Structure 1
């Protein structure tokens, strides 16, 4: 008997979309990319030339009508996420969407409500760090009580500085540094602390290099602290200006110990010893750090859609990450504490 196959349409073929497409087409068993959608002909040409995808669409609704399509993989601008997820569910398609779910809380809740009307369909938001082997191991150790009761998470996402400032073109629609960069850390903190209810948020930020972000109410370095109703806390650092590379670090403090993931953001196990000392190269970007996790994440979605597994995160997790990210952004922009 042949194994079931999930026929997928990939939507959005920028840098991350191409990586998702390669994984689905070449490395995820039981996944078949049968269609691609993008408003850019160059991206569709890439799909045809690189992956042999001959069914390409400039119109999303047209792709949803592709014969035999089972699921969509959305790697599109955040402003489109909610409406595209809802359209896919109404068309009877399983849907994976990159984070964040939306920059608008009402849209997040609308997606949750639509998904509830289609319980036979799988809907998943891409919080990829949950699928990283080290983060998964950390969560399991915390759940087993290895560090006692966790009470504080300190987590950061710091990108290497891009002197060209090319990322500035996304500033008008990114939602700001906390929703763009810290949303993964927010999700991790909730997960590692056992999904506590937020109580209040403090936040601040500065533009150390990219002063033009100020025009969009954004910063290139941001700090935020969240107090939860059970007494636990989380503090977040987001930066776009590191000199040495991409650095993702999460620390969890418990009543009987401390646990850290990513203390040394090393690219590999090579150490260089010379007149400058002993050192290692750093991960250059988020994909170099989480390449394996993206693959595991895609496999979980495919397995769940085929009825061969269960999702380990809920749409509501994405909603709550947006809720906290919005509160952090508000606290920074208005220079005040935001209460829940």
Structure 2
């Protein structure tokens, strides 16, 4: 496995593990239902392959995903970079809104540490920017947690350029996590340049277009009835058919390299800069092992030009979230 450095000297494997899909019966379901035993074995296999970067969040489950990750890393904590996120308010197990208050930042981390079974979190993200709370308050509270020894690094998710600048004026920001892939490139306009200006590493989530770029999904009929992607605008109607054209080009490049579509999509992302560390989601060892090989693929100029032509910025059909979701990103 190769390794990269995010902001403020945070060293991680070149590919991380998005743990969100690993929970059976969770609130966000992709494909067939997860098996907890296989999910834990997947984390163990990732560690064996040299992967050090594992991403979870309070909202996944909610709460139960952190518990599963905690069980999996028990006795294997040394050398791992464990990231989690806060930023929502709950009524029992129901999410009822965002909460970026300093009080929530400090109280939420206590539950996260307990569920993970660790004393200090390596990277703590605000999951979504709260428009009602100044980012200075949020990041100030997160900086206090560093002083208290409860976290090591501060991250933000789906923050816009001005928010990033204001946040970085309060405390060093080590990573921004936002959606980025061949079919979601808008961050290249202002957000990624701002991260580089400020020395903030970039962690793409959904680097495989929520599985679309793998080529394994040819119609909505391939998805279970409870699959979250049935609500995804890019999977709907004419959008689906239009977006399949990109999948075909990815497959052509994959064939040239004797690789999978997933490996090519991830290799393309990593070719965009040494400060980029994608976190594809896994729940099975087979898909993990396939994607982990992407770090060894070198795309040449012809490959990159071909993919660039097939996936220009703004070229994907449909927004990446519904109306409610779009109101919560790039704030």
Please, what TM-score do these two structures have when normalized by structure 2? 0.38
Please, what TM-score do these two structures have when normalized by structure 1? 0.37
| Bigger Rg, which one | 1
Larger proportion of helix: 2
Larger proportion of strand: 1
